[in-house]
Amino acid sequence: MEKEIERLREIGLYNKIKTIDTPQGAWLGIEGKKVLNMCSNNYLGLANHPEIINHAKNIMDEFGVGPGAVRSIAGTMTLHKELERLIAKFKNVEGALAVQSCFMANQAVIPSINPDAIFTDELNHASIIDGVRLTKSKRFIYEHNNMKSLQEKLEEGKNFENKIIITDGVFSMDGDIAKLDEISKLAEEYEALLMVDDAHGEGVLGDHGRGIVNHFGLSDKEVDIDIGSLSKAVGVVGGYIAGSNTLIDYMQQKGRPYLFSSALTVPDVAATIAAINLILRDDSLVKKLWENTEYFQKAVREIGFDIGRTQT
């Protein structure tokens, strides 16, 4: 370990963690300095929203703090079910399952489905990559957002019975958006399930920030599995799996992170409920986010910055 740490220092890849001593916001306090926050996932500014904080405080008086168990034994509270019904409404699907993080959502779904073949974008998130590694599936990695490459891989693997295509919705490092409308057509043509990780799409894309599926006018008829995060635009912590009632029932029986990790805590669940209700009630924050995005992109381009292929 010491040798590897030293190697990382030598090549400039050692990650020195900065400690923040203020609430999340546009400005942060770090080591006694006031700095502009250019790297947060707190897209809508909900991580320190007073309405959300107050709701979490009030619910703790009623339910306490911790769940005391895993969901499958004695850790499922009425709060968890309320949150899952709300997520299903938000994503316009039959059901949802809240888990500890979006990373864990991918770790739950991919190995438990364990299809014969997986078709995955080369720039998919690490949680998808690790989830794929936990399977015994044949892996086909297609060129980033390249539909010709995806079709070639699907053609190569067309004789596998159970197939799934997995893609990020908004790619976190580059900000470009998956061509989900085109991918869904290929999934139908080759009789493959379609799974999207919408961690950076919810609260950003679609009507009231409902995400990439809504953005493209699709539904759970085209996109079988919708994975999401509660720690980015929603501003709290956690992840979820959304889709058909059959999918949710299956994950409650087979999803190991759901079965063997403690449930989300009371304040996290309460805060998330308040945050999603706020987004559904008023989309002004989503609209403001896009106004800020367009303003910022235009300004930095004008002074010579190359911002790559970002669409967000």
> Over the stretch 122-177, which tens digit does the pLDDT of each residue have?
999 999 999 999 999 999 999 999 999 999 999 999 999 999 999 999 998 889 99
Mean pLDDT of all residues in 75-82? 97
- List the catalytic residues: 172, 200, 232
Domain 50-280: which CATH number of 1.10.1200.10, 3.40.50.1110, 3.40.640.10, 3.65.10.10? 3.40.640.10
In tens, the pLDDT along 264-292 reads 999 999 999 999 999 999 999 999 999 99
Does residue 110 register a pLDDT over 90? yes
Helix ranges (H only) for the chain are: 2-10, 50-63, 78-91, 102-113, 126-133, 147-156, 180-189, 212-215, 245-254, 256-260, 266-281, 284-302
In tens, the pLDDT along 16-64 reads 999 999 999 999 999 889 999 999 999 999 999 999 999 999 999 999 9
| Strands of 138-142's sheet in order across | 95-99, 239-243, 225-229, 193-197, 163-168, 117-121, 138-142
Q: What proportion of the chain, given as a percentage, has pLDDT over 70?
A: 100
CB 102 within 8 A of CB 199: yes
Instruction: Calculate the alpha carbon distances from 7 to 16, 20, 215 in Å.
Output: 14, 27, 44
- What is the pTM for the complete model shown? 0.95
Residues of the chain with CATH 3.40.640.10: 50-280
pLDDT of residue 309: 85
pLDDT of residue 53: 97
What's the token pair of residue 77?
A: 């509270």
Residue 128 CA from chain centroid, whole number: 11
CB 95 within 8 A of CB 244: yes
